[in-house]
Structure 1
Amino acid sequence: MAGSSNDSSPDSAGVRQKPTIKLCHQTGQLPEVAPDWLTAHERERFAGLSGTGASEFLTSRWLIRQALSKAGSVRPDQCWPMEGRATVSASPSGWHLSLSHSHGLSACGTQYGSALGIDIEPSKRHPQWQKVVKRWFSPVEQEWLFQEDDSHNFLRVWTLKEAWLKATGRGIAGNLQTLEVRRNFELYGDQPDDHWQACCFYTEGFLATLVYRQAEGDRPGSWPTITLLEPPPDDYSLSKAEPLDTHWEPMFQRRIRSKR
């Protein structure tokens, strides 16, 4: 099974319940003057950044507004996140957000009424993963990962854990084992219910993983809407970004069962 980039109307209740993912490539350009659509808090943060960090920050804030615009059927300049970490929208209200950026690609996940987490990594990345597994992963995870000896499996596990921690509002320190990834990617988390879902796919040379709490009435096994947008213009203006053709390949989708 493979998919292509698509964009759909947010009007129906079913679309509101299903999470969406918006992606865009960073241009690497920075405007001479900070865009006037940044909030005061965002402007302060942007002023303290430079180079790649500044480009990533500005692209992610531009992408948030594009994602919320499509989700809430409002203009991009009417969209902005709450102050602090960009995990909830201030306008339009009710939307939860998650951001990830890596090596020139930015991703923004949105879902109405429920938290979610997204993480992306270059699919050809080959880190020295054995040290990470030995120090931070559970004995069960260590056993099967070392037996299979596949860096791609490590990346899938790592992005699952990162997305899980974002969705449940926690940092890495002391929390990597709150999601246990067993052989064949059976997932067990420390949340008290079984409504959590995870999906993993390849697109644009990246591995992307989304974790979210399934809304009541959402059809089991349905994939999020995945859309690659044209990159921001050099001046980062907030005109509506058009979708671009892209190919995405699903890897797996799993329910996260409760360990409790």
Structure 2
Amino acid sequence: MAGASSDSNPESIPRIWLCQPAKKADEATPDWLTPDEAQRLAGLKGHRRQEFLTTRWLIRQALAGASGLPASDCCPVPGRPTAAATPPGWHLSISHCQNLAACATGTGAVGIDIEPARRRADWQRVARRWFSVAEQDWLLRTDDAFEFLKVWTLKEAWLKATGRGIAGNLQTLRVSADFELLGDQQQGGWRAGSCLVAGFIVTLVWQGPEAAGGQPAAPTLLAPPPDDCRLVAPEPLACTADWLLNADIHPSG
């Protein structure tokens, strides 16, 4: 896959990479996995194994596309893949949900979350349990599951970008009815973008000098990995992104 540059110098604009899983998961363990990844894969079966392989394959393809290096030369740090081990200098975030995987790459902190746009779970219960009183008020009054999913993906992407889990932290980003965003990080340079791609809400939060007033590049949808997950260069597929939100995240205090 052609890279965005001829060397490993990072781009300033964060990028979103998407792909569907392989149609048939091969049982062999790819030789490009790190020892840490191979150990984790050994404990997975069925769709969880397929999701894991797809996201790890996508990480390498995303780093290759962003840096210009071959995918075989790219890998994440051990454990939670929040940064690249090679090439250095890249931040990462991944998400997967119902037959789609996503990876964000950037030179500053990034967080990505995806949700099917038609998901209709018991969102009112989730809002009452985890959201602020003000958020509950306008969401329950609006009674729109799609608006809830926009808020939920914003909060999830925010927590990934700031390196925190859900418990006790979902109110660290407050979202008003007109989608003014207030976060608990006092340093500036935070921004969020949400778009609708192939029936999914895709939300990215990122930080950096380039964040102010900017918008992430349009998502790149890659062809699914081959059944054996070889690191072949995938073809970009046709992809239309309808932007739902592009806004600064202001300090709350």
Q: Determine if the TM-score, normalized by the shorter chain, exceeds 0.5.
A: yes
Match of 1:4 in 2: none
Q: Is the 8 A contact 2:187 2:251 kept in 1?
A: yes
Structure 2 length as normaliser, TM-score? 0.95
What residue ranges of structure 1 are gaps of 5+ in the alignment? 1-6
- Structure 2 residue aligned with 1:179, among 149, 173, 176? 173
1:253 match = 246
1:138 maps to: 132
Describe the superposition over 1:83-125 as per-residue Cα deviations: whole angstroms up to 9, x where unpaired.
010011001011000000000000000002x111000000111
Per-residue deviation, 1:28: 4.3
In structure 2, distance between residues paired with 1:242 and 1:23: 12
- The structure 2 residue matched to 1:159, chosen from 140, 153, 167, is 153
Q: Which residue of 2 aligns with 1:65?
A: 60
- What residue is the counterpart of 2:219 in the other structure? 226
Contact 1:193–1:257 (CA under 8 A) maintained in structure 2: no
| Alignment of 1:37 onto 2:29 | no
In structure 1, C-alpha distance between the alignment counterparts of 2:121 and 2:153, rounded to whole Å:
13
Conserved 8 A contact 2:3-2:68: no
- Are the equivalent residues in 2 in contact too, given 1:229–1:242 (CA < 8 A)? yes
Structure-1-length-normalised TM-score: 0.93
The answer to whether the 8 Å contact 1:65/1:76 transfers is: yes
Asked if 2 retains the 8 angstrom alpha-carbon contact of 1:99 and 1:108, the reply is: yes
* Higher normalized contact order (CA 8 Å, seq sep 6+, divided by chain length): 1
Provide the identity percentage. 48
- Report SS of the residue matched to 1:184: coil
1:105 partner amino acid: L
Provide structure 2 residue ranges, at least 5 long, that are not aligned to the other structure. none
Partner of 1:240: 233
8 Å Cα contact 2:7/2:68 also seen in 1:
no
- Name the residue aligned to 2:98: 103
Write the distance in 2 (CA, Å) between the matches of 1:51 and 1:227.
27
Q: Secondary structure at the match of 2:178?
A: helix
The number of residues matched between the two structures is: 252
Which of 46, 51, 58 is the equivalent residue of 1:51? 46
C-alpha distance 30-17 of structure 1, shift in aligned 2 (>3 A): same
The two structures, once aligned, show a CA RMSD in angstroms of 1.8
- 1:164 and 1:218 map into 2 onto residues whose CA distance is 14
Q: SS where residue 142 of structure 1 aligns? A: helix
SS in 2 for 1:10: coil
Whichever residue aligns with residue 97 of structure 1, its letter is L
User: Which residue pairs with 1:188 in the alignment?
Assistant: 182
